[in-house]
Structure 1
Amino acid sequence: MASRPQRLLRGDDSSLNASFLELFFDLAFVLALSQLAGHLLHDLTLVGALRTALLLTGVWWIWVTTTWFADWYDPASPSVRWLLIGAALGSLLAGVAIPHALDGRGLLFAGAYVAVHIARGVVTVFALRGHPRQRRALRILCWFSVSAVPWLAGGFLPAWRVPLWLAALAIDLTGPRLGWPTPRMGRTGRQELHLAGEHFAERYQQIMIIALGELVLVAGLSYAGTQLDPPQTAAFLLVFATAVLIGLLYVTPAGQRLGPAIEHADPTRLGVITGYLHLVMIAGLVVTAVGAELSIAHPTKTGDTTAVVVVLGGPMLFLAGRILFSLAIHRRLSWARVVALLVLAGAAAVVRLPLLAVTGVATGVVLLVVVLDHAGVLSYRRGSGA
């Protein structure tokens, strides 16, 4: 009969498909991404963008670490199930706090973030006592306990909130890249950090669908609130086309190679780096959603530099993350995609075009990159690289 620690850990015969509760956990990000888009829309300044990025990174790191947790531990275990439910609740509370997280609800945001990580660490350390994997859980708990101090201090000290939370995120994001080194225990070895590539690739695709769903939802709601005039209809169709193209761009071809790449790579490199790069791509989708709302609501508006930067900046940010994603998977840089990114950057200077035309430029560039990626799939299958 298996011991309690062995029942907690994911076995070799465990299904690599996402469990029901993992998908339920993802639903919390529907609210979070919607709140983040609204947060940025109401403060379209550089400072507002940086503040939104700070909150997005915090929410995203709950998702990443919970996905690692579900990859290492058996989702059929009662303890794992309750921790996934708790993580979903914590993510929802963080989403509720987002609009005022840097004002009056900072403690709610920080408390939800800290509670998810500390509860997970305490339960796994206790459940794994006597098992070699307890040291991994203890190292992770130590790092999150350290970062909990600036997180909670920032919740109590509004004037110092941003620098304290930046310091906390720096601790949380660098820990896995270093293997969570801890006094007297050293750092976690590669074998302890192994990730099931098939499971992880599926989870990334699922969260990307959630992010794309937010873009489609914003487009639909924005269009529903208009008079359905031809310019507004055209803007809506262009945004929908952009969402479809971004989805195709994600899965072809690097997205298809993600599972095997993670399975055979150093987890402290690719396993962690893909978490960073997906953050960039999802940030691009949040900005694209804000640009979609601006474009659909005011398709004929010209001369609005901020709106032009947002409409083009979302696809630019996604493409930048996507280029680096391909580089991480294939160890090769696609200069054609870099040129497409520069075209978008150059188009941002054309502020005299109506937002409908600017949206058309963004959609056209993404379409070009999708065509190039499709050609890459064909050449990869012939053995000449992707």
Structure 2
Amino acid sequence: MDGARRPLTRMVEGPQRADLLELFFDLTFIASLALTSQKMATEPTWTSMAHALIALSTLWAVWVTTTSFTDLYTPQARRIRFVILGIMFGGMLMSAALPHAFSNHGLVFGATWAAINWGRGLVLIPSLRGRRDQERPLRVLLWTTVSGVLWIAGGLVPEPGPRLVVWLAALTVDYVGFGLRFPIPGRPPLPQYAVAPEHLAERYQQIYILTLGELVLITVLALSRMPFDAPRITAFVIAFLTAVVLWWSYARRTGAILRDAIETSAHRSRLVQTNPYAHWLMVVAVVATAAGIERVIDDPLARPDATLTALILGGAALFLAGRATLDHEVFLRVPRSHLVGIVVAVAITPLAPHLPGLGLSVAGSMVLMGVAVADSLWTSYRPSSPPATP
């Protein structure tokens, strides 16, 4: 209990919708999306893109663990509210450090993520004293102690190459621990907590739509800095159509019935555990697409280099892979159209150097549109009644 007022854990009969504080917290992640996209667009090297991807994946872990935290513990409890605000401050600090996380802001980035994990555990463990629920934050703290040491050690490494290796190991510990439900030797993995389907589905729907908002923002800002000539206006139109397809493909399919899927799935535990990874692929895809669009609007007739090709066509392929993963978890099948779309995106990659950047963005958009049209024509799926899973 939070004093004599509210229980810490979310009650079945209590509010199941996302709290306004959680939406406020999302602003932290939107800032990190914009900074990641900007870094990819302005530093078009493979090394810089790897750095941006590691940083974004870490901030995605901040968002996912906080969303799971608020799915289990109610934000209405005063103690939980303060923890969320503390994580929000830490996320803001990490976002501010993101552009130079592999230079002079590395220790701030790594140590802040470690502090978020440790602080959350140090609040929960005494609050749950004497309850079986205490085992969960204890195990999480054990895993994050290992990863936290690596995050801090990586921040202390002066060279960006070795820092990348250490942080990749730390991120692997974080992702594996979460995915396997924090096992320890001699003990089974933690049982899946009592999920609040409406809350959890709403949180992932919201963050994906907010990610699309980052794509819209980057597109508008990119055009606002440039002359309004025909090639740039065309690139702007293609960017808008791409954003619409990325929304429509998610909103009319699996994303629209995520709550029902979580409620009715016979493999709910697996769906809850894989849901963050499927959405991670889609979020990275949208950020990469935004970075590519910014570069195309900047110079729509320039020949694309390998990094721009990866942002545009790789972004399309990543989105389709994420959507296919989510479909597989909900319907136990992979849409053939998504696999075909990935193959087509890869197949046209050798043609990219012979196209202007505008042509490349048209090609990426056409791949996504083709898959969306194929879904619309070839499926008899009804969003209101997801199929039962065995």
**TM-score w.r.t. structure 1 length?**
0.93
Residues 155-213 of structure 1: CA deviation (Å, up to 9, x unaligned): 112333222211111111111222212357643123xx232222111101111122111
Counterparts of 2:384 and 2:122 in 1: how far apart (Å)?
50
Residue in 2 that maps onto 1:323: 324
Residue in 2 that maps onto 1:251: 251
Q: Is 132-141 or 157-166 further displaced after alignment?
A: 157-166
Residues 17-76 of structure 1: CA deviation (Å, up to 9, x unaligned): 110110011000121111111222233233222222111111000000000000001111
Residue in 2 that maps onto 1:86: 86
Residues 304-363 of structure 1: CA deviation (Å, up to 9, x unaligned): 443233222222211121112211211111112211222222222212122212211222
Counterparts of 1:45 and 1:181 in 2: how far apart (Å)?
38
Shift of the 273–233 alpha-carbon distance from structure 1 to 2, 3 Å rule, reads same
Q: Is 1:97 matched up with 2:97?
A: yes
Counterparts of 1:182 and 1:366 in 2: how far apart (Å)?
42
Counterparts of 2:127 and 2:187 in 1: how far apart (Å)?
19
Counterparts of 2:143 and 2:204 in 1: how far apart (Å)?
24
Counterparts of 1:277 and 1:296 in 2: how far apart (Å)?
29
8 A Cα contact 2:83 2:120, kept in partner: yes
8 A Cα contact 1:283 1:317, kept in partner: yes
Shift of the 268–141 alpha-carbon distance from structure 1 to 2, 3 Å rule, reads farther
Give 1:188's aligned amino acid: L
Q: Is 1:54 matched up with 2:54?
A: yes
Counterparts of 2:147 and 2:42 in 1: how far apart (Å)?
29
Counterparts of 1:29 and 1:383 in 2: how far apart (Å)?
32
Q: Is 1:34 matched up with 2:34?
A: yes
Q: Is 229-238 or 328-337 further displaced after alignment?
A: 328-337
Give 2:334's aligned amino acid: L
Residue in 2 that maps onto 1:172: 174
Q: Is 370-379 or 15-24 further displaced after alignment?
A: 370-379
Shift of the 375–201 alpha-carbon distance from structure 1 to 2, 3 Å rule, reads farther
Residue in 1 that maps onto 2:164: 162
Q: Is 78-87 or 34-43 further displaced after alignment?
A: 34-43
Counterparts of 1:202 and 1:384 in 2: how far apart (Å)?
17
**Identical pairs, percent:** 35
Residue in 1 that maps onto 2:72: 72
The offset of 1:5, in angstroms, is 10
Counterparts of 1:91 and 1:384 in 2: how far apart (Å)?
36
Residue in 2 that maps onto 1:308: 309
SS at match of 2:75: coil
Counterparts of 2:184 and 2:309 in 1: how far apart (Å)?
47
Q: List aligned pairs for 1:108-257, cutoff 5 A.
A: 108-159=108-159, 160-182=162-184, 186-190=188-192, 193-257=193-257
Shift of the 122–280 alpha-carbon distance from structure 1 to 2, 3 Å rule, reads same
Residue in 1 that maps onto 2:342: 341
Counterpart among 362, 367, 370 of residue 368 in structure 1 = 370
Shift of the 303–80 alpha-carbon distance from structure 1 to 2, 3 Å rule, reads closer
Counterparts of 1:57 and 1:382 in 2: how far apart (Å)?
33
8 A Cα contact 2:260 2:386, kept in partner: no
Residue in 1 that maps onto 2:106: 106
Q: List aligned pairs for 1:272-311, cutoff 5 A.
A: 272-302=273-303, 304-311=305-312
Shift of the 376–235 alpha-carbon distance from structure 1 to 2, 3 Å rule, reads same
Residues 252-306 of structure 1: CA deviation (Å, up to 9, x unaligned): 2111232233334545522121111111111111110111111111112235443
State how many pairs are aligned. Answer: 384
SS at match of 1:8: coil
Residues 61-94 of structure 1: CA deviation (Å, up to 9, x unaligned): 0000000000001111001111111111111101
Shift of the 96–2 alpha-carbon distance from structure 1 to 2, 3 Å rule, reads closer
Unaligned runs of 5+ in 1: none
Give 2:60's aligned amino acid: W
Shift of the 172–266 alpha-carbon distance from structure 1 to 2, 3 Å rule, reads farther
Q: Is 127-136 or 367-376 further displaced after alignment?
A: 367-376
Counterparts of 2:59 and 2:87 in 1: how far apart (Å)?
11
Q: What is the RMSD of the two structures over their aligned residues, measured on CA atoms? A: 2.3
Counterparts of 1:381 and 1:112 in 2: how far apart (Å)?
41
8 A Cα contact 1:93 1:109, kept in partner: yes
Residue in 2 that maps onto 1:354: 356
SS at match of 2:370: helix
Give 1:126's aligned amino acid: P
Counterparts of 2:384 and 2:278 in 1: how far apart (Å)?
28
8 A Cα contact 1:295 1:311, kept in partner: no
Shift of the 249–357 alpha-carbon distance from structure 1 to 2, 3 Å rule, reads same
Q: Is 180-189 or 251-260 further displaced after alignment?
A: 180-189
8 A Cα contact 2:254 2:327, kept in partner: yes
Unaligned runs of 5+ in 2: none
Give 1:288's aligned amino acid: T
